[in-house]
Amino acid sequence: MVAENEEAMFGALKSDLGKSAFEGWAGETYLIAGELKHARKHLASWMRPKRVRTPLLAQPGVSKVYAEPLGVVLNIAPWNYPIQLALAPLIGAIAAGNSVVLKPSEVAPACSALLARLLPRYLDPECVAVIEGGVPETTRLLEQRFDHIFYTGNGTVGRIVMEAAARHLTPVTLELGGKSPCIVDEDVDLEVAARRIVWGKFFNAGQTCIAPDYVLCHASREAQLIEQMKKVLIEFYGEDPKASPDYGRIINERHHARLSKLIASGELAAGGQSDPTDKYIAPTVLRKVDPASPVMADEIFGPILPVLTVPDLDAAITFINARDKPLALYLFSRNAEHVERVLQRTSSGGACVNDVMAHLIPHELPFGGVGASGMGAYHGHASFETFTHKKSVMAKATFLDPSIRYPPYTPGKTKWAKRLA
């Protein structure tokens, strides 16, 4: 389906989000294809019952862990990567043997319609169903009993999903978000840091759950970092990013209005232009941002990057730990001790050192949040595990049935039982 309809997917992504074909490939179909290849390669070994040690007291017998499907899974997908984040969990759910109800996001209507048209052509409709619609349809779905609910989106709706799931004691995986910080240390390669931060922040016009949400920059490096980021913005998108074929758009008018208000939260270092008719907001960098300002209250989820200064690394760690645990944490530093200090003293869903968003690529790295940024993980084997029940099975032989386990429990039996244990 992906191989034969990649161009149609790029067209839908362009219609909904203004994504370039490269961003459609890199952020959507490439990741899906990788997940598929990895699952197909390893599925036989994932499915195979795993034998574990059987203690002497339980002999003669064999102990194994069987992987069995949970049953019927509800997958509620978001709008920012409307194809990748619909299909990646679907791969894991199908691999584990489940049936799936997929609810694409109505906020990305072209992608939702495309998935609703394609999936029944390629997958058994008895096993995979696509339900289009908005809040009423999602509400009706959440009233039903599922065996697992996988939700990707914001924390407000995540709480609604979890409350609905609790009525049926349904387990949930919540892939949420939060304000993912990016620390720029004093000892750092500023050119590389600026290039990678700008790329990660403004990819998909900042509408990425693991985009750097704000920068905590060592005070001695702020001016240089901002100047370097301004140069990179011109290299990437030209003097007028609005005319660049590689720069996306905000998903809708409501989000555009929300983001436009946040620009006033600091001093403009770059960008700031906005056009509601085109749902365009320029790649924007802010400085002199008050931590109590609106842009620092919630996840930005758009092309606005606040740069705050800190006197040292410990101040950055304290700042991060005073807030909800983020989905991702980024650190640019050439100091190995500083890197280890940040990784040991902070908690986040995932982390990257001297890069952003790259931890999404390796299939062996589980992807998920912690605390307010989510619960549960997926990608690669973690996806199979998420949608699987591990059933413990012991098979006992009957040719030997020692009486030590049966009453009456004499002092001699007790003595031998303790020795064997």
Q: Catalytic pick from 6, 28, 35, 209? A: 209
Residue in 198, 203, 199 with CA at minimum distance from that of residue 23: 203
CA 275, CA 259: separation in Å to the nearest integer? 12
Residues β-bridged to residue 235: none
Backbone angles phi, psi at 350, to 5 degrees: -155, 175
Residue in 78, 140, 131 with CA at minimum distance from that of residue 100: 131
Q: Catalytic pick from 175, 217, 222, 352? A: 175
The reply to whether 209 belongs to the active site is yes
CA 42, CA 244: separation in Å to the nearest integer? 41
The reply to whether 175 belongs to the active site is yes
Task: State the helix-helix crossing angle for 109-122 and 84-95, rounded to 10 degrees.
Answer: 30
Residue in 390, 391, 386, 392 with CA at minimum distance from that of residue 148: 386
CA 132, CA 139: separation in Å to the nearest integer? 12
Residues β-bridged to residue 305: 285
Residue in 109, 40, 59, 99 with CA at minimum distance from that of residue 75: 99
Catalytic residues: 175, 209
